[in-house]
Chain A
Amino acid sequence: MSVINWQPSASIETLRTRAQILKTIRDFFVSRDVMEVETPLLCGTSVTDPFIQSIPALFQSQPHGSEQRYYLQTSPEYAMKRLLAAGYGAIFQISKAFRQSEIGRFHNPEFTLIEWYRPGFDHHALMDEMDALLQTVLKTQAAERKSYLDVFTQHLHLNPHNVTVDELIACATYNHISVALDSKDRDTWLQLLMSDYIEPRIGQDRPCFIYDFPASQAALARIQPGNPPVASRFEVYFRGIELANGFHELQDANEQRNRFKKNQSTREQLGLNQMVIDEFFLSALTQGLPDCAGVALGIDRLIMLASNSNSIADVLSFDFARA
């Protein structure tokens, strides 16, 4: 007879660390007058992002009734921005988020994040606050900050803003990165070099913040005009783990709609299911989002770092295999 392993995947010590960290984070924001909010996990629409897939859930208004497709949220971003547009001020949320097919050493399809928004902040001011939070929770030294341009120049001697795809492929080959990829997408190659080559070489002793991404990787960040224009976006790396992603938020509803439409056509090219645009969110942007910066930080990964854990399963009461 097979024995069912019903035991938790995390140790009791790690779950105590987890509880302590959640408390520390809440105290940190409460002391800074940032209000805790909750937004729906079950949503009528989800992101159009071609590289984030949503997990559908079916709702019935009565038993045997017709099924309505909802989605488990991949991030509370749109709902939180609606709160901001409604005038709620500085807010934070600790919530579950869900991503289809994301499972691995650093990924669980259901995970916990903290997301917060600061009216009046740009991405640099928000990096200051992120640094303070990491110093409080992980007792880290002050973080190092580098622009996307600096880090590519320093480690790979190339300019990420004007390098060609062929140069990126040659660079991967030269650095013995063996890749089975026929992509001609510049951003895919930049991301590959970032994760396979640069990430293991940055943020080892102290967290490293990378900011001002190529405009083509803006996501929901505003783009600073210039030569080249760059996205006001930052990522946080520490000991080989990608911890957080933040933006000086895009306020322009038309520009946002165009990005969503571009995502939809990319999804079509990739043969992915089509996602409906969230009109609640776009209406809120049209009404007016205050000038603000926001960021999402993976709490499970933060706890992995705090407890020296090797796998995300080690910091979850029950990982996906036991859920």
Chain B
Amino acid sequence: MSSYGLNEIRSGVKLIIDGDPCIVVDNEFVKPGKGQAFNRLKYRNLKTGRVIERTYKSGDSIPAADVIEVDAQFLYGDGTEWHFMATETYEQYAVHEAEVADARIWLKEQAECKLTLWNGTPILVAPPTFVNLKVVETDPGLKGDTSGGGGKPAKLESGAVVRVPLFIQEGEVIKVDTRTGEYVSRAKE
């Protein structure tokens, strides 16, 4: 298995740390004038999403993780597993509920998303940054309110609940930012 020396590690490099695939966020070289050189590594665990900081000795090395990201389409969920198809290879992947994690509430069938594969197995599903979804349930809004102030909860066809302006009605399609879970605008069908 290939590995990286601490000084060669740049942000974006994927490594196996404590048995989990991680992506490097930052790597700072620290050298006391007359002492051992260190690297202060900051990385995100790709399975849990947690960002961790850890100090290593500069001469050490860390195994590389065979992690790639592929474009995929969400096919269907069967209760325990979610099924995706890679856009380029048509290869199908089954993903356990737990690994779909936060992406689940944003995905409807046919949705395009990104699958992170570690040694060929999906470990993470990322929804598109912006999704257009239909409002399936919300209180009737007040006529004439276009300010968007205040807002109300709306349930979307994928299961997510977001705050929308009062003028949004059931059946309308809205654009949502999946990073923040916030309403962006009305969307055209």
Contacts and interface: CB of A to CB of B under 8 A. Distances in A.
B55 A103 contact: no
Interface in B1-56: 7, 28-38, 40, 52-56
A242 B33 contact: yes
B158 interface: no
A275 interface: no
A196 interface: yes
Interface string A189-233: 001101110000000000000000000010100000000000000
Contacts of B69: none
Contacts of B97: none
Nearest to B56: A180
B57 interface: yes
A101 B31 CA distance: 11
Given A102-B29, A105-B29, A180 B34 contact: no
B3 to A, nearest CB: 14
B57 to A, nearest CB: 6
A300 interface: no
Nearest to B37: A51
B172 interface: no
Contacts of B56: 179-181
A195 B28 contact: no
Contacts of A185: 36
Nearest to A181: B57
A180 B36 CA distance: 14
A101 B8 CA distance: 10
B36 A191 contact: yes
Chain B interface category by residue count: 20 to 34
A104 B28 contact: yes
A180 B54 contact: yes
Contact of B33 (A104, A180, A192, A245): A245
Given A103-B29, A104-B29, A107-B31, A196 B36 contact: no
Nearest to B40: A196
B7 A101 contact: yes
Contacts of A105: 28-29
A155 B54 CA distance: 21
A49 B34 contact: yes
A51 B54 contact: no
B71 to A, nearest CB: 26
A235 interface: yes
A99 B105 CA distance: 53
Contact of B35 (A103, A177, A178, A191): A191
A235 B36 CA distance: 16
Interface in A101-133: 101-107
A30 B66 CA distance: 59
A195 B29 contact: no
B163 to A, nearest CB: 36
A110 to B, nearest CB: 15
A5 interface: no
Contact of B34 (A104, A196, A219): A219
Top 10 nearest A-B pairs by Cβ distance? Answer: A104-B29, A191-B35, A178-B54, A191-B32, A245-B33, A188-B36, A179-B55, A219-B34, A180-B56, A195-B30
25 contacts: A49-B34, A51-B34, A101-B37, A101-B58, A102-B31, A104-B28, A104-B30, A106-B29, A107-B31, A178-B54, A178-B55, A179-B54, A180-B54, A180-B55, A180-B56, A180-B57, A180-B60, A181-B55, A185-B36, A187-B36, A191-B35, A196-B40, A217-B35, A219-B34, A235-B33
Interface of B: 7, 28-38, 40, 52-58, 60
Given A179-B55, A196-B55, 20 more contacts: A51-B36, A103-B7, A103-B29, A104-B28, A104-B31, A107-B31, A179-B56, A180-B55, A181-B57, A183-B36, A187-B35, A188-B35, A191-B32, A192-B38, A192-B55, A195-B30, A195-B32, A196-B30, A217-B34, A245-B34
